Amino acid sequence: MIISIPRLVLKAQKGNDKAFLKLFQQYEEDIYRMAYVYVKNKDDALDIVQEVAYQSFKNISTLKKPEYFKTWMMKIAINCALNLIKKNKKVIQLKPEFEVLVGSADEDISLSLSLQELMDALQEDEKSVILLKYYNDRTLKEISEILEIPLGTAKSILYRALDKLRQNIKEVNHFG
C-alpha cells in the first residue's frame, strides 16, 4: 500500500517517526546532491543532510501545505548549505593550486573551466536559482516560493546568472 506524501506529512506532524523517516528517505539523495553542489565535498554535504534531517524533523509542524514537503526540505537544505559556507568563509584557506598560480603568474595557464568552476562564478542567490531551475526542474513560480522572493526577482536573477555563465563560457572559448 502506497501512502501519498501529504498523508505521510500529516502523520509525521502528528508525531509518527516512521512516517517522517519514510518521507526523509525519499528525498535524502536529492538533498545530498543539492548540498554537494554548494559545498563541493562529501563530508560537508553529509553534514548538511544530517542537519536537514534534524531541522525538518524538529520543525515539521510548521509546514502549512503538506504537498510542498519536498520544496520545504530543499529550502532547508539551501539554507543549511549557505550557513555552512558563511561559517567556513571565516576560516581563510589558501588552496595549494592557488599558491602555484600566485608564484607563476606569467606562465601559460590553462583556462579550462568545469561546470563546478562556472557555478563558483555565481553569487549564492544566482546559484540557488540555477540549481532549482535546471537541477530540480522547478518553475520560476516555485523558485520564488522556495526562496521567498518575488517572481520578477527570480526571473531577473535567473537571466543575470545565465548571462554570467554565457560570458564565462565565451571567455574560456576565446582564451582556450
Give the model's pLDDT for residue 54.
94
Give the model's pLDDT for residue 10.
94
Higher pLDDT, 170 or 164: 164
Q: Which three cell numbers stand for residue 173?
A: 572559448
Give the model's pLDDT for residue 101.
41
Task: For residue range 46-98, list pLDDT tens digits in order.
Answer: 999 999 999 999 999 999 999 889 889 988 998 899 889 888 776 544 444 44
The structure's pTM equals 0.63
Higher pLDDT, 119 or 33: 33
- Type of residue found at 41: N
Q: Which three cell numbers stand for residue 21?
A: 523517516
Residue in the block written with cell 563541493? 40
| Rounded percentage of the chain residues whose pLDDT exceeds 90 | 39
As a whole number of angstroms, the distance between CA 99 and CA 110 comes to 16
Residue 138 above 60 pLDDT? yes
Contacts of 104 (CB under 8 A, 6+ apart): none
Higher pLDDT, 52 or 174: 52
As a whole number of angstroms, the distance between CA 84 and CA 104 comes to 32
DSSP state of 41: S
What SS3 class is residue 135? helix
Give the model's pLDDT for residue 110.
38
Give the model's pLDDT for residue 159.
92
Residue 99 above 50 pLDDT? no
Q: How confident is the model at residue 120 (pLDDT cuts 50, 70, 90)?
A: confident
Residue 142 above 50 pLDDT? yes
What domains can be seen in the chain, in order of their start residue?
1-92 (1.10.1740.10), 110-176 (1.10.10.10)
For all residues of the chain together, what is the average pLDDT?
81
Give the model's pLDDT for residue 112.
39
As a whole number of angstroms, the distance between CA 91 and CA 93 comes to 6
Residue 137 above 60 pLDDT? yes
Q: Enumerate the H helices of the chain as residue ranges.
A: 5-13, 17-39, 42-59, 69-89, 96-103, 115-120, 124-130, 140-147, 151-175
Task: Please answer whether residues 78 and 33 qualify as being in contact, where contact means their C-beta atoms are separated by less than 8 angstroms.
Answer: no
Task: Please answer whether residues 70 and 30 qualify as being in contact, where contact means their C-beta atoms are separated by less than 8 angstroms.
Answer: yes
As a whole number of angstroms, the distance between CA 117 and CA 103 comes to 21
Give, in order, the Cα–Cα distances in Å from 30 to each of 13, 111, 132, 157: 22, 31, 11, 23
Q: Which three cell numbers stand for residue 104?
A: 607563476
